[in-house]
Amino acid sequence: MFKKMQFVISILFVVAMVLSACTQATQTTAPVTEAPAVTEPPATKAPVVEEPTTAPVVEEPTAVMPEVPPLSDIVLKVTPAGGSTTTYTYNFNPFSTTYLFPTINGIYEPMMIINHVKGEILP
């Protein structure tokens, strides 16, 4: 049943592609718009400027300290995914039944430890 439906759908797809390729392509053109007629703006009067009767008063800015929320005593401890501690355990025991994260079964410890920050290789 599934193979029949897959065959029918693929045939319908091919027929639709052939029919869409056979249609005439129509070019679409943008409609022609007329340019607006140039008109002169209406005459306006010049604005009247009033003379100030008194000198403006300049207020000196006052320093307003924003409120700062109190500090929290929450400590965030970040550990590597799957690891229980942030320190690396140096356990080069070939008979150990556990493996270090993120190695897979059979790979227990690396032969060298690379410190990318300091640029050191530790055997």
Residue with tokens 């400590």, as numbered in its chain: 75
Q: How far is it, in rounded angstroms, from Cα 79 to Cα 99? A: 17
User: Residue 3: its pLDDT value, please?
Assistant: 83
What is the longest distance spanned by two Cα atoms in the chain? Answer: 100
35-93 residue pLDDT tens = 666 677 666 777 777 776 676 676 776 777 778 777 777 777 766 555 555 565 666 66
If you ran DSSP here, which 8-state letter would residue 115 be given?
A: E
pTM of the model: 0.22
pLDDT at 117 over 80: yes
